[in-house]
Chain A
Amino acid sequence: MFKKILFATTASPTCDNAAKVAFDLELKWDAKLYVFHVLGIPSRGYSPFVTDVRTGEIMEPDPDYIAWVKEEMKNTYDTLLADSENAVIEAAVGVPYREILRKARKEDIDLIIMGSHTRQEDIGATRYRNIVGSTMQRVAKSARCPVVIISRPCTTCWKLFSNIVFGTDFSKASDYAYKWAYRLAKEVGAKLHLFHACDLNTSATGVSIEQSEIEDQIAKAKEKIEKRYISKMNGYDNYEMEVREGIPYVEILKFAREKTGDLIVMAHHTREVDPEKAVLGSTVEQVVLRSACPVASVNHPDKVADF
């Protein structure tokens, strides 16, 4: 399912959790893993200098310097590389998200793996800054393949994962996400949890929804899940469907926790908008921020069209 995986890393401890998952996946799928680091251009426009992530010094990125960075990356990931069979270390100079997207396009990557932040954040501080690092946000928005975001140590094991939670809002983008989640669940024999939360907060202020109306909404959502997803499963029976009422991101996090989810799969944006104009939907953002397990954001039909 994954022949080529791109692990976009800052080569700093903030990406250690993502690194473990990336190398695990390489072994699991016998894939080629590109461990890719963009040195970055400092804030003063298109300066020829870069800031070294380790020393903080301003450097001029000549070929020798890039070779040195690659050597440093090898040292950083030496333990993981020892077990790896098909990983290549690569570094480039440029604006990180552009270089990552360029690399993904050039190599026809099937999956991008990233950490959610480029630096360690205090939880309190997270609230007042971009929830997701802007590089990650831009990559997730424009990538033509699924992007897996890892923000915490993976307490459950991706390599052996058993529970995939697919959160849907019944948008077209959710259909792409479903295809990917279903294919993945089928390939690894994991249980696929199809989940939808009826957002009751969207009703007009002061209008209370009656219980019968809530039940009606839930019944309709179940029907939609049956029609849109379950009917396309071709006899695959290892699934469960759940519809709850509440705030979508709270409910999906609760549900993933209850089911000991190893992966949450969601559409990149939750409403019917042009993928080119979409930013990371707020539900995905809130889920990425808090989820204990990796979150896969699917943005584009390209890599799922033939599933």
Chain B
Amino acid sequence: MNAVTLKKDGAINLNGKTVRSDALEYLSFQIALEKGYTLRSFFKMLDKYTLFAKLNDFFPTYTKQYHSCAEQGCKTGLLDYLEFGKTVEMIGAPDKRLEIYNALFGIHASEATEIKSMQLDSLLDLPLKLGRLKHIVFGDRVDIFEFDTVYTLFELIDGIGWELSFHATPEHCELRR
């Protein structure tokens, strides 16, 4: 499978060379993240390859918010890193179905934590890693298996966009009267 490396500075690297600004053709490529890749690197990529920002309605809002954040030190002590993962669920009842989805979550002490209540400025500089595939079988009992897997560039952009669309918590409560 064709692969690209996503660099810390937001560049997309193919065979050691930075790809040109129109990078749509690489959306189906497998990705590897450079060591030290963070959520900030992801936003730098959206700045460099502006067409990607059109993949989600919320990107313009969050890109704007990202630009207003401090240039470094945007991370919470509540999380060790962010993980992008894939889940395959087999559900037996009431109707048989298979669901496959990507999700971005925080990891602290090896435990997954939801990040939707956290502000962007506490997540930007956390390391971002690609996780393993989780296969969950909902039968008479729940079985969970984990496997190595690969992610495409589209999955990463789309999955992060979906997750960020939930980050709408106001920063403070304003009491007026």
Give the distance in Å from the alpha carbon of A54 to the alpha carbon of B159 in the complex.
Answer: 33
B interface footprint on A268-306 (CB within 8 Å = 1, 0 otherwise): 000000000000000000000111110000000000000
Complex: A262 Cα to B175 Cα, angstroms: 10
Is the CB of B154 closer than 8 A to any CB of chain A? no
Q: Tell whether A129 pairs with B174 under 8 Å between CB atoms, given A124-B87, A124-B159, A290-B165.
A: no
CB of A153 closer than 8 Å to a CB of B: yes
The CA-CA distance from A254 to B166 in the complex, in Å, is 11
**Interface hit among A82-90, A142-150, A154-162:** A154-162
A125 and B99 within 8 A (CB): yes
**A133, B114: Cα distance in complex, Å:** 20
Chain B residues engaging chain A, CB cutoff 8 angstroms: 57-58, 61, 87, 89, 93-94, 99-103, 114, 116-117, 159, 162-163, 165-166, 168-177
Q: How far is the CA of A162 from the CA of B176 in the complex (A)?
A: 6
| Cα(A112)–Cα(B172), bound, Å | 27
Interface residue A260 (Cβ < 8 Å from any Cβ of B):
yes
Contact residue among A127, A160, A247 (Cβ-Cβ distance under 8 Å from B57): A247
> Does A22 touch B at the CB level, under 8 Å?
no
Q: How many residue pairs at the A-B interface have CB separations less than 8 Å?
A: 82
Main secondary structure of the interface of A (DSSP, over half): loop
Please tell me which one of the listed residues B58, B162, B166, B169 contacts residue A155 in the complex, with CB atoms under 8 A apart: B169
Tell me which of A189, A256, A260, A291 contacts B174 (CB under 8 A): A260
Provide the bound-state CA to CA distance between A261 and B168, in Å. Answer: 11
A156: nearest chain-B partner, CB-CB: B173
B163 touches A123 (CB 8 A): yes
> Given A43-B94, A162-B174, list of 13 further CB < 8 A pairs?
A123-B114, A123-B116, A127-B101, A152-B116, A155-B117, A156-B170, A163-B174, A163-B176, A190-B176, A191-B176, A257-B168, A260-B170, A260-B173
**Chain B hits for A123, CB < 8 A:** 103, 114, 116, 162-163, 166
Residues of A within 8 A of B159 (CB): 124
CB distance from B163 to the nearest CB of A (A): 6
Known contacts being A162-B176, A290-B165, is A261 close to B101, with CB within 8 Å? no
Within 8 Å by CB of A292, from B89, B102, B170, lies B170
Chain A residues within 8 Å of B58, by CB: 250
Task: Say yes or no: A291 contacts B89, CB within 8 Å.
Answer: no
Q: Could you say which residues of chain B place their CB within 8 Å of the CB of A127?
A: 101, 162
In the complex, the answer to whether B102 meets A256 with C-beta atoms within 8 Å is no
Q: Which residues of B contact A124 (CB under 8 A)?
A: 87, 101-103, 159, 162-163
In-complex Cβ contact of A43 among B93, B114, B171, B175 (8 A): B93
The 28 listed contacts between A and B (C-beta, < 8 Å) are: A43-B94, A122-B101, A123-B114, A123-B163, A123-B166, A124-B101, A125-B87, A125-B89, A125-B103, A128-B99, A152-B116, A152-B169, A155-B117, A162-B174, A162-B176, A162-B177, A189-B177, A191-B176, A247-B57, A250-B58, A257-B168, A257-B169, A260-B172, A260-B173, A260-B174, A290-B168, A292-B168, A292-B169
Complex Cα–Cα for A129 and B98 (A): 11
Q: Answer whether A122 and B103 are a contact pair too, CB < 8 Å, given A155-B173, A257-B170.
A: yes
Are B170's CB and A129's CB within 8 A?
no
Instruction: Please state if B99 and A129 are interface contacts (CB–CB under 8 Å).
Output: yes
Please, which residues of chain A bring their CB within 8 A of the CB of B103? 122-125
Contacts of A163 in B (CB 8 A): 174, 176
Q: Which residues of B contact A260 (CB under 8 A)?
A: 170-174
Interface residues of A in 150-209 (CB under 8 A from B): 152-153, 155-157, 160, 162-163, 189-191
